[in-house]
Amino acid sequence: MNLKNTLSPVCLFLFFLGGLCYAQDPAHDHGAHGHSHGDERAIAFTVWIDAFEIFAEHPFVVVGTPAPFVTHVTKLKTFSPRTRGAVTFVMTLGSQRIEHQDPAPQRNGIYIPELVFPRPGKWSVTLQIPMDGKTYDVPFPPVQVYKTQADADHAPDPVETEGFSFLKEQQWIIPFQVEQVTSRTQNGITYRAVPESALAYSGDAAYLYVQLGGETFERRRVQVDVREQGTALVSLGLNEQEHVVTLGVGSVVLAHGEPAGQSTGDVVHVTDEQIQRFQIACQEAVLGGVDAWIQAPGQIQINHERMAHIVPRVKGVVSQVQADIGQHVKSGQVLAVIESRDLADAKAEFLSALERQELARTQFEREERLFQQKVTSEQDYQSSKQDFAKANIEHRAARQKLIALGLTKQEVDDLPAQPEEAFTSYIMIAPFDGTIIRKHIVLGEVVDDTSETFVIADLSTVWVDLNVNQKDIESIQIGQPAEMFRDHNMSGIRSQVSYVDQVLDPTTRTAVVRMELDNTEGCYRPGTFVTGRIDIQSRDQEIIVPADAIQIVNDKPCVFVKTNEGFALRYVTTGQKDTDRVEILSGVENGEQIVIHNAFYLKAELAKQAVSGHGHVH
C-alpha cells in the first residue's frame, strides 16, 4: 500500500468515532451498508453542480403524506458540510408550484424537510441554496408521487448501486476531496488526468476510488501510462466526468477494507466483568434448516391463455347486441348479429359455384357415357371433363372462403336450404364459457375485421404475477411452493410456481414469477395488488445461528467465536435466512460457541483495538 495513502492514528480514531456516533443516532440511522429509514424502502440519489454536491434520500412518496427528504449539502470548494442558513425546496407539477423553506440544517450538513405533495404524478423538485449573494439551483431527479400507500408498497424497488459505503459524516470530519475526471491529449492519445495523490497501490497495481454516489464508492483498477508534475494520465479503467477521491484516499481504503483471512490478530479480549455488563451470551453451533422464502410484490392477472378478443371477420352494420359487459356467457352463445353485404356476396358466390358444379357434373357424366358408346368425340369428352374440374375448384374455393369468415362446415352445407333474408346475417358467438370484461359495440355501428367488439375472459382461474428481484430469481424453479397474501391480516393462499420469466425488465431489474389460482368461487379480482412468498429449499445439514449473531466487518458477514484466547472474529459465508435465523455455509464448525447476543459490543471493542494498533475493522 502506498505510504502516502494510509491513515494516521488520529484520522483512524476520527473515522471510528464518526461511524460509531452516527450508528447510535435514532433520528438518522446508518446501517452496516449505509442509510436506512427503519423498514421503509428508500430512494437515494446524488447531484453535482459547480458549488455543491447534494446527496439525498427519501421514502416512496404518497399523496398528502409528509415525506422526509434527508438532504446532505456539501460545499465542494472545501468539501465541508453547510452548517447554517436556509434552503428552499421548490416542487412543481404542471402549473402548480409549491415552495417549502427549511430554515436551518437539523445537523451539520443535513436538512430533513417533510415535503407534502397534493397530487399524484412525476413532480419536479429543485433545491435552492443561497450563498455569497447568489442562489444556486440544484435540480433533483423527478419524484414519483403515488396515489395510495398500496401503490407505493407495490412499486418496484429502486436499482441499487453496487459499491461500498463511506458516509458523509465520515467524509466531513477528515481532510477529504472528490474531483471530476478531465481529459488530456498527449502525443495524439487521449488520457484521463487525475492527481497522483488519488492513486492507491497494491503491489504493482494502481487503483482509484470512484464516487458512484454521495456515500457509495468503487475500487477501480486503472492503467497509468504517464506521470508528470503530480498528474497521472490513465489510459484504461476510468471515464471522463467520473468523480474520484483525490484527498483522504487512505480513509476510503480503510472503509473498503483489504481481503481478510482468519487471523489470530482478530481476537477481542474482554474481562468477565465486561461479559456480564454487556450481557454477551453464547450458543453452540448446531446443524439444522430454516424456513426460508422470497417475498415479492405482485398483482392478480387474468389468465391470458383463457382470454379471447372477439373481432368480426366481415364488414357490416350491427343489427343485434345480445350480451353486455360483466355478463357470464356460455360457449356458442350468440353475442351480436351483423348485417354484412360482403357475407351475402360470399354466400351467393358459393351457391353459384355449387350450381355450376352440379351442371358441370351432369354435362361430364353425359359426355362420358356418350364417349364410351362412341357417339361423341374424345375432344368433347375431354372438354367436359376440364369444365367439371374447374367447377370443382371454384366450389371448393367458395366453400373455404365461407369457413374462413367463421361459418362452420355444417352451416355451409345447410346454406342452400336457408332463406335468402338470412344471407346477410353474420353471427358472433362466444368461443368458451367466460365473462365479458370489455365491450365496444352498439346498434347501428359499422364494424369490420379491425374492430375489437368484445373481450371474454374465463375467470375460473387467475394468474398471480410477482416481480422478483434479479438477485433472487436464480433460486426459483417451476413447481416450488408459493403463497399469496391479499392483506397483512389474512392467511395465505397456497399454490406453486407455474412460470419463471427468462428475461429481466431492463428498468426495474425484476422478472415475473407466476402462480395460478383456482377462482371458481370468484374470490380473486384481477388488478388487485398482493404480496407473494416463494418457499426456498433449505439445506438440513448446515450450521444455523440467530440472525443477531451476524455482524458486518470489512463489508463482509462475520460472527464471534468463543475461544481460549477470547472472542475470535470469524468471516462466514451465509445461505438462506428466515425471520430469526441464518444458515452458515462456511466459516464455523459444528459445536463451536457462537456469540448470539450483543455481539455488537465485541465489534466495538475490536474497533478500539484497531485504534491501538492491534488489528483493523470498519
d(CA 592, CA 614): 24
Indicate if 73 and 92 belong to the same structural domain. yes
Indicate if 353 and 414 belong to the same structural domain. yes
Indicate if 104 and 152 belong to the same structural domain. yes
Q: List, in sequence order, every residue forming a beta bridge with 300; answer none if it has no partner.
A: 464
Instruction: State the CATH number of the domain containing residue 368.
Output: 1.10.287
Indicate if 602 and 547 belong to the same structural domain. yes
The answer to the question of residue 26 being in a domain is no
Give Dmax (Cα) for the chain. Answer: 131
Q: What is the pLDDT of residue 538?
A: 58
Mean pLDDT of the chain: 83
> Going by C-beta distance under 8 Å and a sequence separation of 6 or more, which residues neighbour residue 114?
66, 67, 68, 69
The answer to the question of residue 365 being in a domain is yes
Q: In the structure, what pLDDT confidence band is assigned to residue 602 with cuts at 50, 70 and 90?
A: confident
Query: 536, 563, 586: which is the final residue of a domain?
Result: 536
- Asked if the model's pLDDT at residue 540 lies above 80, the reply is no
| Ordered DSSP codes for 537-604 | PPPSSEEEEEGGG-EEETTEEEEEEE-SSSEEEEE-EEEEE-SSEEEEEES--TT-EEEEE-HHHHHH
Residue 473 φ then ψ, to 5°: -65, -30
Share of the chain above pLDDT 70, in %: 88
Burial 433-458 (b: 16+ CB within 10 A, else e): ebbbeebebeeeeebeeebebbbbbb
Distances 480 to 293, 295, 515 between C-alpha atoms, Å = 11, 14, 10
| Ordered DSSP codes for 464-529 | EEEEEEHHHHTT--TT-EEEEESSTTSPPEEEEEEEE-SS--TTT-EEEEEEEEE-TT----TT-E
Average pLDDT of span 144-165: 87
d(CA 612, CA 13): 9
Instruction: State the CATH number of the domain containing residue 566.
Output: 2.40.420.20
Q: What is the pLDDT of residue 7?
A: 36
One-letter amino acid at 33 equals H
Indicate if 251 and 277 belong to the same structural domain. no
| Each residue's pLDDT tens digit, 74-95 | 998 888 999 999 999 999 999 9
One-letter amino acid at 219 equals R
- Asked if the model's pLDDT at residue 577 lies above 90, the reply is no
The answer to the question of residue 439 being in a domain is no
| Each residue's pLDDT tens digit, 233-265 | 999 999 988 999 988 887 787 777 644 334 444
The answer to the question of residue 250 being in a domain is yes
d(CA 516, CA 332): 26
Q: Are strands 593-597 and 281-284 parallel, antiparallel or unpaired?
A: antiparallel
- Asked if the model's pLDDT at residue 36 lies above 80, the reply is no
Q: What is the pLDDT of residue 261?
A: 38
Q: What is the pLDDT of residue 458?
A: 94
d(CA 329, CA 74): 66
d(CA 402, CA 313): 10
The answer to the question of residue 449 being in a domain is no
Indicate if 64 and 16 belong to the same structural domain. no
Which cell goes with 353? 359455384
The answer to the question of residue 328 being in a domain is no
3-state secondary structure of 180: strand
Nearest to 199 by CA among 174, 170, 230, 167: 230
Indicate if 143 and 53 belong to the same structural domain. yes
d(CA 395, CA 353): 5
d(CA 59, CA 39): 10
- Residue 517 CB coordination number (10 Å): 18
Indicate if 133 and 46 belong to the same structural domain. yes
Q: What is the pLDDT of residue 321?
A: 93
Contact assessment for residue 283 and residue 546, using Cβ atoms and an 8 Å cutoff? yes
Q: What is the pLDDT of residue 248?
A: 82
Q: What is the pLDDT of residue 258?
A: 47
Contact assessment for residue 492 and residue 484, using Cβ atoms and an 8 Å cutoff? yes
One-letter amino acid at 252 equals V
d(CA 67, CA 117): 9
Indicate if 143 and 231 belong to the same structural domain. no
In degrees, rounded to 5, the angle at the alpha carbon of residue 214 between the alpha carbons of residues 32 and 130 is: 135
Query: 488, 517, 536: which is the final residue of a domain?
Result: 536
One-letter amino acid at 222 equals V
Query: 476, 503, 536: which is the final residue of a domain?
Result: 536
One-letter amino acid at 227 equals R
d(CA 183, CA 202): 25
Average pLDDT of span 316-325: 92
Q: In three state form, how does the secondary structure of 63-87 look? A: CCCCEECEEEEEECCCCEECCCCCE
The answer to the question of residue 433 being in a domain is no
| Least confident segment among 21-35, 120-134, 383-397, 527-541 | 21-35
Indicate if 346 and 403 belong to the same structural domain. yes
> Going by C-beta distance under 8 Å and a sequence separation of 6 or more, which residues neighbour residue 188?
none
Share of the chain above pLDDT 90, in %: 37
Q: What is the pLDDT of residue 302?
A: 94
Indicate if 215 and 248 belong to the same structural domain. yes
Q: What is the pLDDT of residue 30?
A: 43
- Residue 212 CB coordination number (10 Å): 15
d(CA 543, CA 591): 9
One-letter amino acid at 329 equals V
3-state secondary structure of 93: strand
One-letter amino acid at 362 equals T
Nearest to 319 by CA among 339, 289, 300, 298: 339
Instruction: State the CATH number of the domain containing residue 106.
Output: 2.60.40.1930
Q: Are strands 143-146 and 61-62 parallel, antiparallel or unpaired?
A: parallel
Average pLDDT of span 38-57: 84
Instruction: State the CATH number of the domain containing residue 515.
Output: 2.40.30.170
Domain housing 64? 42-156
Q: What is the pLDDT of residue 380?
A: 84
Domain count, the chain: 5
d(CA 49, CA 127): 11
The answer to the question of residue 193 being in a domain is yes
Indicate if 521 and 560 belong to the same structural domain. no
3-state secondary structure of 119: coil
d(CA 129, CA 139): 11
Contact assessment for residue 400 and residue 392, using Cβ atoms and an 8 Å cutoff? no
